Amino acid sequence: MTYEERMIEAAKRYAAADKSDPFTFARCMAHIRQGLCSICVGESNAGCDGHYDAEVGVETRVTADGNEYLAVAYRNILRT
C-alpha cells in the first residue's frame, strides 16, 4: 500500500468516526491533496501535522428491550 493510500484509509476511518459532519472526508482529502498531512510514526507523533485516523473495533450494545447486538465503534480518534 502506498503512502497516499495509507493516508486515505486513515481519513476514511476518521470520517466514519465523525458522523455529525457529512463533509469530514472531503475536508480530510483536501488536506491530504494539499500536502498538509503526513503519516505519523511512533508513539509521540512528533513532527506530525494534519494526520487523521481512528481505531475500529466492535462492541456489544443493548437495546431498550434488552436485546444485544454488535456495533462498530471507533476509538482513539486522532487529529494531530
Domain boundary assignment for the chain: 3-79
Per-residue model confidence (pLDDT) at position 64: 96
Per-residue pLDDT for 80 more than 70?
A: no
Per-residue model confidence (pLDDT) at position 6: 85
Q: What average pLDDT does this structure show over 63-68?
A: 96
**pLDDT by residue (tens digit) across 29-65?**
998 888 887 766 555 544 455 578 888 999 999 999 9
Residue 52 φ/ψ, nearest 5 degrees: -120, 140
Per-residue model confidence (pLDDT) at position 34: 87
Quote the DSSP letter at residue 54. Answer: E
Per-residue model confidence (pLDDT) at position 40: 62
